Amino acid sequence: MIAKENEFKELCQKRGLSYQEIEMAVQELQMLSNKLCSEISNLEILSLDKIESYIDERTKSGTANEAMLIAYIRYYSMIKRDDVSIRLLSYLNPIGILPAMAEHLEALEGKKVREKVMENLKIPPIASKPEDYPTVTSAFTKNLEKEVGTVKAQQILAWNVHGIPAEPWLKEKEEFLRSTSLEQWLKNLHDRRIAEIEKHAIDGTLWFEQKITMRVVDYVRNNQEILSGVSDGRYIYATKIPFNPDGFLSASSDFEKRKYACHCPLAASSLNEKGADTPPLWCYCSAGFEKFIFDTVFDFDTKIEVLESVLAGDIRCRFRIEIPETVRKRFL
């Protein structure tokens, strides 16, 4: 029996997992324990290096899968081993992104263009470490730009590649429709999201992949562009919260800030002092995530531009979303 097995099973039940899925998750943790633990060691105190080495063995043998990673992430998040859960999320999050981009490309530009862009590209197997992705991500981005041009490549990349459902944002759509101005909605949205992250700062739980402290809450509170946006009447300006916001605030150099700022596990390890080995064009994938809330709330496929990006050498990622005419007219 693994440490805190009953607590883990209860957590999985709350997440809606079936009995069979829970038993499979426990089995994955038991296999990890059997391989790496001893009488004086248990899952709770395993080093991250040992866990990563085991995942690498499973990946090379072709026995690694998403369910394995999710089981590990849930377990180590539950016991507040953030060093493990955050790192393993960077193994999980890249899975399926490039294949989804290829399918999206084919839907827009046809099979021949997809084949040219994907020619000779080898996507890392499931559960590969994030450092294995920048080479293929860079090649994909360069090939895409070569085949369709910069502007069209930006448009292709800027979509909901993660397949995030719109439902969580429908309440914000209702809030928007009740608002007397766009500026009021943006301000209230910011207040609601500050309250959301403040709960995580208080109880110590992760907010997505991020550890939130009270100084992070204050940092967000002082910049409405973060987790919301600021309107100038024609555009909404939005700045992405750093991936490791507390680390970002403690960083002593711009390069260090950039490393803490970057969210993308397919590109982050390619950062260098001047920019990155991955082309900044790839940041339009992040732009697609950033504009999704506005697409949902405005019921419109908004246009977005990357103004600053970590891959381009900036210390933050900043975007400009064009306000649809229907939204501007609404508040005349």
| pLDDT, averaged across the chain | 96
This prediction's pTM? 0.93
Mean pLDDT of 125-151: 98
Q: Identity (one letter) of the amino acid at 45?
A: I
**What are the boundaries of each domain within the chain?**
5-92, 167-330
Which residues are CB-neighbours of 81 under 8 A, at least 6 positions away? 44
- How many Å apart are CA 73 and CA 94, to the nearest integer? 15
Do 269 and 278 touch, CB atoms closer than 8 A?
no
- How many Å apart are CA 63 and CA 301, to the nearest integer? 40
Q: What is the pLDDT of residues 18-32, one digit of tens each?
A: 999 999 999 999 999
Do 144 and 117 touch, CB atoms closer than 8 A?
yes
Q: What is the pLDDT of residues 180-202, one digit of tens each?
A: 999 999 999 999 999 999 999 99
Q: Characterize 305-317 residue by residue with b for buried, 16 or more Cβ atoms within 10 angstroms of its Cβ, and e for exposed.
A: ebbbbbbbbbbbb
Q: What is the pLDDT of residues 30-70, one digit of tens each?
A: 999 999 987 656 899 999 999 999 999 999 999 999 999 99
- Range 5-92 classified under CATH 3.40.50: no
- How many Å apart are CA 298 and CA 185, to the nearest integer? 12
Sheet with strand 230-231: strands edge to edge? 230-231, 235-239, 318-322, 304-308
Mean pLDDT of 315-321: 98
Q: What is the DSSP letter of 162?
A: T
pLDDT over 70 at 2, yes or no: yes
